[in-house]
Amino acid sequence: MISIDTLKQYVDYISNKEQSGNNYSPKQFNMLVSRSIDDIERWLIGLVSEYRPMQPLPSVAYDITQKVKDDLRFLKNTQVLSVDDSGFMTIPSDYVYLSSISYRRIENNAETGTPDVEPIAVEVMSDDNWTGRLNNAIKKPTHEFPVCNFYDKTKVLFSPQDLGSVTFTYLKKITTPVWGYTLDENDNPIFDPSSSVDIDLPEILLNDIARVIIGYMGINIREEQLIQYAELVKTKGI
């Protein structure tokens, strides 16, 4: 977990806020933090702009390296969700990126007299392949080989339809961080931990988030040194 106040102090120090006069309000800082963590989350999951022909993966992406998986473990969420009689499951409102979907197939064991539970991966089908798979006599979906399709923005459709429930593992949206404050007698903002929300990411990403914030600050105030610093940190990966 990254302390929002530690991040702000670090950004203030790097940007030389007090001496340079590059002041910004708490509202502006909170806006920059919100945009920056969105950038960091998209970068770690994998930027679509980095996809190239014959190179189907970006340089940084979820599940490529353990480092990225460790960075995003704070956002990993697993839920057992119901599948209705029509085969539909409601997508969680905080869903951002799919990790896996599995189905728990239960069969009675005649030898032991107890049910056997077998987790089975559900194959996610594209829109192009969905109809073809349903009508495929050889590879028609079964309880041993279930499939699904992201039907619309709120629903996933499964086949067979009578799965009952599935285990849905995904990356959730980062909770919006807030640098809360009160005003002193001179109307200067003073950090208020009771109204603040820290960043739900590992502390090792503090430099990356600060780099994005400083880059946005440099663009806004046309400060070349801040922009150059942000690009240098990005290049060196520190």
Percent of the chain with pLDDT over 70: 74
- Please state, as a whole number, how many other Cβ atoms lie within 10 Å of the Cβ of residue 10: 17
Q: What is the CA radius of gyration of the chain?
A: 23
Q: Which residues contact 150 (CB under 8 A, 6 or more apart)?
A: 91, 124, 156
- Per run of 10 residues, the mean pLDDT along the chain (length 238 residues) is 92 68 79 87 60 48 61 84 96 91 80 75 90 83 92 94 93 90 90 94 86 73 50 46
Question: Nearest CA to 122 among 106, 92, 98?
Answer: 98
119-131 tens-digit pLDDT:
899 999 988 888 8
Question: Nearest CA to 96 among 38, 149, 57?
Answer: 38
57-88 tens-digit pLDDT:
544 455 556 666 766 777 889 999 999 999 99
Q: What pTM, to 2 d.p., does this model score?
A: 0.71
